Amino acid sequence: MIDMDKSIESHLLYDHYSRLLTDRQREAFELHFFEDLSLAEIAEELKVSRQAVHDTVTRTLIQLQDYEVKLKLFTLQQQRARAIVNIRSRLNELSICDQALEMMLSEIE
């Protein structure tokens, strides 16, 4: 069974980088992580060996992590989200209610 934190991280990285994967990688990943199929079930569905599925899923996870190390899209999104929360909090503390500022913050979310 997969560690929950790793599973969530894998899903989030997949959301950011899935378009960079091959069709086969996407299919194996989705069957394993979204459909919760075992490697044996995926192997049967894709008509390949269990080892081939294991290798594909493992390589896909490594590749997703490598994309994040190089591109940092997920990290930047998280930083931007935290900054927006902090800005909204500060505006609230200052009792500033500005529609234009709120629209700008919504646009960059």
Strands (E), 5-107: none
Tell me the mean pLDDT in the region 69-82.
94
Average pLDDT of span 31-59: 97
Tell me the residue range of the domain where 22 lies: 4-71
Q: What is the mean pLDDT of residues 59-73?
A: 97
Q: Are residues 27 and 40 in the same domain?
A: yes
- What's residue 2's pLDDT? 45
How many domains in the chain?
2
The three-point CA angle 19-21-23 to 5° equals 95
Residues 26 and 13 in one domain: yes
User: Is residue 41 domain-shared with residue 93, that is, in the same domain?
Assistant: no
54 and 103, same domain (yes or no): no
Same domain, 41 and 64: yes
Longest dimension (CA), the chain: 62
Which of these, 66, 4, 58, 63, lies nearest to 28 by C-alpha position?
58
Q: In this model, does residue 3 exceed pLDDT 60?
A: no
- Give the span between the Cα atoms of 14 and 63, in whole angstroms: 10
CA distance 88 to 94: 10
- pLDDT reported for residue 1: 37
DSSP line for 42-65: HHHHHTS-HHHHHHHHHHHHHHHH
Instruction: Kindly report the length of the chain.
Output: 109
Cα 37 from Cα 6, distance rounded (Å): 17
Q: Is 2 helix (H, G, I), strand (E, B) or coil?
A: coil
What's the rounded mean pLDDT across residues 63-68? 97
Flag whether pLDDT at 4 surpasses 80. no
